[in-house]
Copies of this chain bind each other. A is one copy, B any other.
C-alpha cells in the first residue's frame, strides 16, 4: 500500500488532537505532510505540536496545500466560507476530504458529496455528528440493510450538561455559567442552547439514516433557555426528565423534524444520558431500536472519529450509497404535551385554560400542582393527550394573552413511553 500524504487544515482543539492520535497510533500508510493554520508560530508552541513530525510543513498559505500533491485533506477549521471553496478546490484536484464540520455538511453537504463522486474521491465526515461515537459509520455500514424510519437523540453535549445538572437541582443561569467556565459553552451560547448546532447534526443524520435531504432552516427549534428548575420537579412527578432532543421521522413523503427540550420518560435510554454524553437512537423497520452513545465532543474523542475516517479512505473505503430524496419538513409531531404556567392565582383560571385547549381541540390528560408555592406566582402544569405541535402553538398564543399569566406558558413535547 502506497503511503498517502495528508494535510491538516486547522490546528485547534480537534486538529491538534488528530496530530496526537496519529503520532501515538503509528498507523502505516499515512504521512502528515502539511499543517495549515493562521499564525503558525503561535500554534507551534501549543502542547500537541510536539506530536507533529519534523518533516511536516507548517503554512499560513492555503495554496501551499491546495496546489500540493497531498492525497487527503483533513478540514478542522469549521464554518461555511471560505471552507467550502477550499474543499471544492481540493476535491476538484483529486484530493479526498475528511471533515468534522457539521454546518458545512448540513448546509452544503449534498453538493459537495456530488462533486466528490464526480471526481471519484471520498468526502467523509463521521466526526460531524456525535464526535467520537461511531453513529455515522454504524448507520452507513451496519444498518444499510434496514429501512430506518426514525432517528432521535441527544447530539448537543452542552445542552445535555446543562439539563442534566438542572435535573440534579441547579438553576439554568448558574449551570450555563459553569458550562462556560469549563469551556463546554461559548460566550454566546445561542448555537447550543437555541438548537442550531443540534439541528445541523439532525439534518446530517436524516440524510444518512432516513435518506432524506432536509433544509436545516426549515427544521423548527425551541430553546432550552425557558426550562426552569420547577419543570424538572413536575417532569419527575410524570416519571420523566427533560433533555434537548433532536428528532426526525419519515412519515409518508414528509419528514417530521424538530429540535427542542422534550419530556423524556425514564424508561427510555435517552433519559439515562448524563453530562456531555451524546446518544442517538435509530429505529429500523426490521432491526428495531439501535442505541449509540458516548463522548460526543472533546478534542480526542472527535479526533478518533477523524482518524478512523482517514484510515477508511487510506484503506480504499467506499461506503454503501443509497438513493437520497429531498424531503419537505414539518415540525408537527402528534404527541402528548406538557404545559407549564406561572399565574397570579384567581378563581376561573383552570377553566379559562381548559377553554383555550378545548377551542383548539386539545384534550387535557392530567393537571398537576405542587404544594408550597406562592399564590401570586403559582406554577402549575397541564398535560394533554396527543395533539399536533401547531395545535399547541395556537393554544399557547391564546393563553399567553390571559391577564393571569405572569410569563409565557412553556410548552414541551412529551416522548411516548414505549420503545420499538
On A, residues with C-beta under 8 Å from B are 17, 21, 24-25, 27, 126, 132-147, 269, 272, 284-295, 300-301, 303-312, 314-321
Partner of A306, one of B25, B145, B308: B145
With A and B bound together, what is the CA distance between A246 and B234 in angstroms? Answer: 39
Please tell me if the beta carbons of A132 and B303 are within 8 angstroms of each other in the complex: no
Distance from A16 Cβ to chain B, minimum over Cβ atoms (Å):
13
Q: Which residue on chain B has the smallest CB distance to residue A148?
A: B304
- Are A146 and B304 CB-contacts (below 8 A) given A141-B137, A311-B320? yes
B134 close to A305 (CB less than 8 A): no
- Give complex CA distance A27, B321 in Å: 11
Q: Provide a sorted-by-A list of 26 A–B residue pairs whose CB atoms are within 8 angstroms.
A: A21-B145, A24-B286, A132-B284, A132-B286, A133-B290, A138-B292, A140-B141, A141-B141, A142-B308, A143-B304, A144-B312, A145-B303, A145-B305, A145-B308, A145-B310, A146-B304, A269-B293, A272-B272, A286-B301, A287-B294, A288-B294, A290-B292, A291-B292, A291-B293, A312-B320, A316-B318
CB contact between A295 and one of B144, B288, B292 (< 8 Å): that residue: B288
Contact B312 A315 (CB under 8 A): no
Shortest distance between the CB of A308 and any CB in chain B (Å): 4
CB-based closest 5 A-B pairs? A134-B142, A145-B307, A137-B142, A137-B141, A132-B287
- Report A320 CB to chain B, min CB distance, Å: 5
Residues of B within 8 A of A284 (CB): 132, 304
Q: How far is the CA of A318 from the CA of B313 in the complex (A)?
A: 10
CB of A132 within 8 A of CB of B290, answer yes
A95 to chain B, nearest CB (A): 20
Would you call A143 and B290 a contact (CB within 8 A)? no
The contact of A286 among B21, B135, B137, B143, by CB within 8 Å, is: B21
- Which residues of B have CB within 8 Å of A316? 318
Per the bound structure, the CA–CA distance linking A286 and B21 in Å amounts to 8
Shortest CB-to-CB span from A309 to chain B, Å, is 8
| B-chain residues with CB within 8 Å of residue A25 when the two chains form the complex | 145, 147
A139: chain B residues within 8 A (beta carbon): 134
Q: How far is the CA of A288 from the CA of B138 in the complex (A)?
A: 17
Residue of A134, A309, A314, A319 most packed against chain B (CB within 10 A): A134
Given A24-B147, A142-B308: A301 in contact with B315 (beta carbons within 8 A): no
Among A138, A307, A321, the most chain B Cβ lie within 10 Å of the Cβ of A138
Chain B residue nearest to A301 in the complex (CB): B287
B147 near A142: Cβ-Cβ < 8 Å: no
Given contacts A311-B320, A312-B320, A315-B319, whether A290 and B144 have CB atoms under 8 Å apart is no
Query: A309 contacts which chain B residues (CB < 8 A)?
Result: 145
Known contacts A145-B304, A311-B144, A318-B316, A293 near B294 by CB under 8 Å: no
Say how far A283's CB is from chain B's closest CB, in angstroms: 10
* Closest chain B residue, CB of each to CB of A281: B294
Interface pair A132/B288, CB less than 8 Å apart? yes
B295, B304, B307, B318: the one contacting A317 at CB < 8 Å is B318
For residue A148, give the distance in angstroms from its CB to the closest CB of chain B. Answer: 10
Q: Which residues of B contact A146 (CB under 8 A)?
A: 21, 132, 304, 307-308
List the B side residues contacting A21 at CB < 8 Å.
145-146, 286
Q: Residue on B with the closest CB to A309?
A: B145
Distance in Å: Cβ of A316 to nearest Cβ of chain B: 5
The reply to whether A308 and B143 form a contact with Cβ atoms under 8 Å apart is yes
A157 to chain B, nearest CB (A): 12
Contacts of A305 in B (CB 8 A): 142, 145, 287
Q: Complex Cα distance A306/B144, Å?
A: 10
From B134, B303, B321, contact of A290 by CB (8 A): B134
Structural contact, A287 and B304, CB atoms closer than 8 A:
yes
Across the interface, do A294 and B291 meet the contact criterion of CB distance under 8 Å?
yes
The smallest beta-carbon distance between A311 and chain B, in angstroms, is 5
Report A250 CB to chain B, min CB distance, Å. 15
